Amino acid sequence: MSVHTMETLALFDSAPYQNAFSARVIAVSEQGIALEHTLFYPTGGGQPGDTGHFILPDGSRVDITGTVRDPVLRSIIWHQVERCPDQLAAGMQVDASLDWERRYQHMKMHTCLHLLCSIIDAPVTGCSISADKGRLDFDLPEMTLDKETITRDLNELIQQAHQIKTLSMPASEYSTLLQITRTQAVAPPVIQGSVRVIEIAGIDIQPCGGTHVTNTEEIGRVFCEKIEKKSKHNRRVILRFE
């Protein structure tokens, strides 16, 4: 199969809570291992790529250290390894499992950052997510933010148990999508003619390709650890799980 005709079907959009699957290997290269479909989320939108492992037909284990999209052929997702076994080749069927605890923490924090967007009325200039914390950078010329107020308001929203819905909008409505996009640096990705949108009913709606929980109550308690002045027009808000 030519690399130009390959495509990895992303299952993490439709099944964010599934953490194990079987798939056929379609390519092995210095970039990693590509499967016909995957639950592994590739690095993007501030969310790290998933880690986990494959089990080969002979029972051997291959640890996946990260997941990325191909820099040129964006439809291909590479599962990165420290060393690829000699026996692993295209056509082989593997059983795969995510590091679920890490992924679920990413899902909770990513959703929490959408809530943070809803309570700070300013464009977002940067984002980073990890298993224990997350941060957003805002275009704010004045220091008007308060840690205690952010912590209180976020936990109130979380405890209200808002449902999170995943919608799809046609790329023809791109101008409308840009108007609701808070992130200045990255335009919403168009995949197969549509843009994925995350809606927290009555709270926030944003184009987003990341993985999320289905109810804010799942996030648990969080607190605003720090607010930093990064530049004249940049304020960084760092959140942690309690």
- Start-end of CATH 2.40.30.130 domains in the chain: 3-98
Report pTM.
0.91
In one-letter notation, the amino acid at residue 32 is G
Which one is the CATH code of 3-98: 1.25.40.10, 3.40.30.10, 3.40.50.300, 2.40.30.130? Answer: 2.40.30.130
Tell me the pairing of strands 77-80 and 93-98: unpaired
What is the residue-level pLDDT of the chain in tens, covering all 242 positions?
A: 555 568 999 999 889 999 999 999 999 999 999 999 999 999 998 999 999 999 999 999 999 999 999 999 988 999 999 989 999 999 999 999 999 999 999 999 999 999 999 999 888 989 999 999 999 999 998 778 899 999 999 999 999 999 999 988 777 776 666 666 666 555 556 666 777 889 998 898 888 889 999 999 999 999 999 999 888 889 999 999 99
User: Which residues are CB-neighbours of 53 under 8 A, at least 6 positions away?
Assistant: 61, 62, 63, 64, 96, 97
Class of domain 102-241: alpha beta
Of 227, 196, 160, nearest to 16 (Cα)?
196
In one-letter notation, the amino acid at residue 171 is A
